Structure 1
Amino acid sequence: DLFTLLNFAHFCAVLSLVSELSIPVPWGEIRGKAWGPEHGHPVLCLHGWADNCGSFNTLIPFLPKECRYVAVDMPGHGLSSHRPPGVFYSFPEYAADVRRVTESLSWTKFSIMGHSMGESQFSALYPDMVDGIIVLDVFGFVPTDPKEIPRIMRQGMDEMLKYEKKAEEEKKRVYTYEKAVERLLAANPTLSERSVQMLLERGLTRVEGVHIRLMCFMQKNIERITLEQSLEMQSMIQAPVLLILVPGSHHVHLDNPEVVAPFICDFLQTKVLSQKDAARLFGLTTLSLEWNSACD
């Protein structure tokens, strides 16, 4: 029908307007992609653990065209630089990375769309900067039994030391593209092969022409907080939150974007964009009243 054709046309148009971006950080760069008008309402898209910004490739073309979507490869993922050797990957560091990104983009107010580990802490730490939160199967603040925290920290440190000893050996390990697809499918059996290929676009390094290097270290997040601390953090969030419950896998937004897109579109239109327009109109009305008063 006509609606389907128009949607497809919009989908193709958005795909053609995507651009790469690079944000300098002290240890290298944070890479990413941007869709939509440069001055559109900003939406920051944060991928999950061991994924990359390709996680949003199929979803964003279905979303409101008035927005500027920026999806980044978090450090150690995709095309972004890895942290310096010996540095842990944990939630507070990722929150600081988000702040670096928004500072570079000069964003002072924006929405966040996060998958899995994406959007774990930033909205609680910087509530005044976030005007809407879309969560896609996230695991939140990961509240942990206080008695378990020492064991988890110790395990994470031991895993890091073990990885450091074999890091050079891992760098020498290469695969064919087909083998890389097979390994990622084995680790994520619910992913479609198309989705795997999208993630591998930014998750592989070509070596010696035909071979591929696949770097993936499943490090444990050693910085944990208790349930009480999690609830306190959660209470700091001020923005409206969209939590989507639909049948599907952990990557439903990537495998079946048409399932979640209508909910996200409605949320952005009614809870974010319309509120922004209302605030702008209120500001203009107030200014007009003040001007009229000054002229009387």
Structure 2
Amino acid sequence: MESNSSSNYNDTLVMTNRYRDASDLTGEKPLREFAEVTIPVPWGHISGKWYGPQTVQPILGLHGWQDNAGTYDLLVPLFPPEVAFLSIDLPGHGLSSRLPDGCYYNTVDNLYIIRIIMKQYKWEKVSIIGHSMSAIIGFLFAAVFPDKVDMVIAIDALKPHQRPYSSVIRTMETRMDEFLREDERNRSNVEPPSYAYDELIERIFIGTFHSVNKNICHHMLARHIQKSEKYPNKYFFCRDRRLKFYNYAAGSQELCVEMAKRIECPYLFIKARHSSYFEEKKYYDEVFDILTKKPNFEYFECDGSHHLHMNNPELVIEPINNFIKRFGPKPKLEKSSKL
């Protein structure tokens, strides 16, 4: 993994310096073998880890904000061996291409990512497991495209979060200038600040508000760092720094309510008891009440932090596997092919 001194720090040029799996850094054997896949998109590629058979349609795994495909490293090994799973890095995260210069990251555009993956693999419908930000993406996709979803499993986020309008406006005002500065830095050849590996672990731990246990942070870290060209034995974060100014806005509470009414697919929502609702609970409760009246909506609550699927996968695997067995992609879908 030698670096090229002529490269800049745009991720489309530094793939050979990036780590693909925690085992590349720690020497650990992956808990379940996978194939690294690359899915073309108009501005570059989406990277992912394909677990299990490649002759059947996989469940699509989507991660949280500033996380990556490593979020499911500890959950997927507990799936039955016949279950295929494609855990991707969303744009700007992990090993996937960043959005072009000047483009802003936002929640709604990720629906396009799902559609383009479906088109690439010729899936008529998709099954989604999403955590946090991507649980919200799953909610939106199931509402906007109710006829294109077999199932959704949402981990610790139910719906787009509502903020006071004054807070939303203030955020728009302050973040735009910050985004412009980061956009300019992305186009420079200046290496970001680098750190010793243990410091990076600490930064992941603190950055998740201690939600990811420190001893498993390396699963998240591996696809986020690049070896420094300036300092031996140091690394820097190479995810797109513009992600810090990600736009979560996805409509009003009234729109969320209408979306909830449109969802038809089997839906499993998993809530961590020791995690926030990320908004006033009355907004959560209103949508939750709508979903609970649907015949194939299931709710599971257990102890754990926001990243409970990483820290305590054994606590959530039984309801997840039961749900997949009933509603997930079936082996008869043999037209799906790898790229």
TM-score by length of 1: 0.81
1:237 is aligned to: 263
Equivalence for 1:46: 62
Q: Mean Cα displacement is larger for which, 20-29 or 189-198?
A: 189-198
- Structure in which a larger fraction of residues adopt helix: 1
5+ unaligned residues in a row in structure 2: which ranges? 1-28, 271-300, 334-339
Measure how far apart 1:156 and its partner are.
Answer: 3.2
Deviation at 1:91, TM superposition (A): 0.8
Structure 1 vs Structure 2: percent identity of aligned residues? Answer: 33
Alignment of 1:154-173 (within 5 A): 154-167=173-186, 168=188, 171-173=191-193
Matched residue SS, 2:134: coil
Q: How does 1:213-232 map to 2 (within 5 A)?
A: 213-215=236-238, 217=241, 218-221=244-247, 223-232=249-258
- Partner AA of 2:206 in structure 1: A
Q: Give the structure 1 partner of residue 84 of structure 2.
A: 68
- Counterpart of 1:290? none
Distance in 2 (CA, whole Å) between partners of 1:149 and 1:175 is: 34
CA drift at 1:127: 1.5
TM-score (norm 2): 0.71
Distance 2:141 2:106 in 1: 13
CA RMSD of aligned residues (A): 2.5
Q: Which has the larger radius of gyration?
A: 1
* Number of the residue aligned with 1:57: 73
Q: In the aligned structure 2, how far is the partner of 1:14 from the partner of 1:108?
A: 31
Partner in structure 2 of residue 20 of structure 1: 36
Aligned to 1:260: 316
AA aligned opposite 1:256: N
Kept in 2: contact 1:145–1:227 (CA 8 A) = no
Q: Is residue 146–residue 226 contact of structure 1 (8 Å, CA) maintained in 2?
A: no
2:218 is the counterpart of 1:206: no
Between 1 and 2, higher relative CO (CA 8 Å, sep ≥ 6) is seen in 2
Aligned pairs for 1:72-151 (under 5 A) are 72-119=88-135, 120=137, 121-146=140-165, 148-151=167-170
Q: CA deviation at 1:95?
A: 1.3
Number of residue pairs aligned between Structure 1 and Structure 2: 265
Question: 1:196 & 1:184 partners in 2: Cα distance?
Answer: 7
Matching of residues 26-41 of structure 1 within 5 Å: 26-41=42-57
8 Å contact kept, 2:160–2:249: no
Looking at structure 2, the residues matched to 211 and 45 of structure 1 have their Cα atoms a distance apart, in angstroms, of 30
**SS of equivalent to 1:118:** helix
Output the CA distance in 1 between the equivalents of 2:30 and 2:246: 36
* Residue type at the aligned position of 2:119: E
For 2:261 and 2:83, the matched residues in 1 are separated by 28
Task: State the alpha-carbon separation in 1 of the partners of residues 95 and 316 from structure 2.
Answer: 27
Alignment partner, residue 287 of structure 1: none
Q: Which residue of 2 aligns with 1:286?
A: none
Q: Aligned equivalents of 2:110 and 2:39: distance in 1?
A: 15
Q: Does 1:177 align with 2:233?
A: no
CA distance in 2, matches of 1:171, 1:152: 28
Question: Residues 222 and 33 from structure 1, CA distance in 2 versus in 1: closer, same or farther, beyond 3 angstroms?
Answer: closer
Q: Match of 1:214, as an amino acid?
A: F
- The one-letter amino acid of 2:220's match is L
Q: Distance in 1 between matches of 2:179 and 2:211?
A: 28
